[in-house]
């Protein structure tokens, strides 16, 4: 049994919220810079140039990369041999988010009731997905999610007979529909299998995977590459104003499913695909 105090969780979550909003991960930053070199669309190239400059200014002046600093989404893996001391872990995470969004001058974008729409003024509550895992560590992954792209996400309940072709068509349809609204170049997170909500969570999780890695499953990796190629032939391009860089990556996660179903979720993310992970 290892004891972790919630003060440590609060401090780490706070720092991670700020870090995620000012610096992209190395793979994301590199993907954008590489795309700028390769882009052949005139406006597309100009826009990618602005995005590179934007990352530089954000880092040097500690200004958030994007004004939509997102809703804080967390994936938390709790080792079953960890004892949490202090307060309730969910309260601690929300306290970390509260402090991070205040001290980091991040935007408070959460409303308490989806219909009454009054701002909570501290960007809480966060959306937290817990997993109980073996071991005595606590892994926290934070992914602030902007809603321009979130709004363009979709769930498809396909039939088993739709197969791989059906999955690919669903992804392409979602990307076409999103067009300029998801702030391309995008990263496309896809969840295949599970049930209705599992597919959506997988899709969100897929966005947090390193964009250079690819799936560990050969047939899925092949699908990721094929989809990326097809998406980039759509011509939507940076800002939706024409170009070869519509997506920087397609990441697919899968899970066993029911004999009668083939759920597919497509979670869109803009080029400001933020995620920071720490292990306590």
Partner 1 sequence: MDKRINVPFTKDEVVTLHAGDYVYLTGTIYSARDAAHKRMYDTMLEGKEIPMELKNNVIYYLGPTPAREGQVIGSAGPTTASRMDKYTPLLLDNGLNGMIGKGKRSKEVIDAIVRNKAVYFAAVGGAGALLSKCIKKSEVIAYDDLGTESIRKMEVENFPVIVVIDSEGNNLYETAVEEFRKTL
User: Which spans of this chain sit near partner 1 (rule: CB under 8 A)?
Assistant: 40-41, 43-44, 46-47, 50-51, 53-55, 57-58, 61-69, 105-109, 117, 119, 121, 148, 151, 179-181, 183, 233-237, 239-244, 270-272
- Is residue 183 a contact residue for ligand SF4 (CB under 6 A)? yes
Q: Per-residue DSSP letters for 33-94?
A: HHHHHH---HHHHHHHHHHHHHHHHHHHHT--SSS---EEEEEEEEETTEEEESS-HHHHHH
Min dist. Cβ of residue 52 to ligand SF4 (A) = 14
Nearer to partner 1, 34 or 50 (CB): 50
Q: 144 is in the binding site of which of partner 1, ligand SF4, none (Cβ under 5 to 8 A by kind)? A: none
Report helix angle 26-38 to 42-61, nearest 10: 150
Say which entry of partner 1, ligand SF4, none residue 240 contacts (CB below 5 to 8 A, set by partner kind).
partner 1
* 28 touches ligand SF4 (CB under 6 A): no
* Binding of residue 66 to ligand SF4 (CB under 6 A): yes
| Residue 148 binds ligand SF4 (CB under 6 A) | yes
Longest dimension (CA), the chain: 59
**The residue to which tokens 């002046």 are assigned:** 61
Partner in contact with 261, chosen from partner 1, ligand SF4, none, beta carbon below 5 to 8 Å by kind:
none
Kind of pairing between the strands at 262-269 and 154-158: antiparallel
Query: Of these, 146, 238, 240, 243, which contacts ligand SF4 (CB under 6 A)?
Result: 146
Which stretch, 119-127, 143-151, 153-161, 195-203, contacts ligand SF4 (CB under 6 A)? 143-151
- Structure-block tokens of residue 232: 């980039």
Which of the listed partners (ligand SF4, partner 1, none) does 239 bind, with a CB threshold of 5 to 8 Å by partner kind?
partner 1
In angstroms, the first-to-last Cα distance of the chain is 14
Contacts of 263 (CB under 8 A, 6+ apart): 155, 156, 157, 158, 191, 192, 193, 194, 195, 196, 198, 199, 257
Which of 43/128 has CB closer to partner 1?
A: 43
What is the rounded CA–CA span in Å between residue 19 and residue 17?
6
């Amino acid at each position: 049994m290892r004891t972790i105090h919630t003060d440590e969780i609060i401090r780490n979550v706070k720092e991670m919220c700020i870090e995620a909003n000012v610096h992209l991960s190395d793979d994301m930053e590199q993907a954008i810079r590489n795309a700028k070199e390769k882009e052949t669309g005139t406006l597309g190239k100009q826009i990618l140039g602005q995005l590179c400059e934007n990352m530089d200014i954000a880092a040097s002046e500690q200004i958030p990369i994007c004004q939509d600093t997102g809703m804080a989404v967390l994936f938390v893996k709790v080792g079953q041999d960890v004892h949490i001391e202090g307060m309730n872990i969910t309260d601690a995470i929300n306290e970390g988010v509260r402090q991070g969004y205040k001290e980091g001058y991040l935007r408070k974008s959460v409303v308490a009731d989806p219909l009454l729409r009054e701002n909570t003024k501290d960007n809480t509550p966060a959306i937290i997905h817990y997993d109980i895992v073996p071991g005595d560590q606590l892994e926290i992954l934070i992914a602030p999610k902007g809603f321009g792209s979130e709004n363009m996400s979709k769930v498809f309940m396909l039939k088993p007979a739709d197969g791989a072709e059906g999955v690919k068509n669903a992804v392409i349809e979602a990307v076409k529909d999103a067009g300029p609204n998801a702030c391309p170049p995008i990263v496309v997170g896809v969840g295949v299998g599970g049930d209705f909500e599992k597919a959506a969570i997988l899709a969100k999780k897929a966005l947090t995977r390193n964009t250079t890695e690819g799936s560990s499953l050969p047939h899925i990796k092949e699908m990721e590459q094929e989809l990326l190629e097809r998406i980039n032939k759509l011509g939507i391009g940076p800002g939706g104003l024409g170009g070869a860089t519509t997506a920087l990556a397609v990441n697919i996660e899968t899970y066993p499913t029911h004999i009668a179903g083939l759920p597919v979720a497509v979670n869109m993310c803009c080029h400001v695909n933020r995620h920071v992970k720490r292990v306590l």
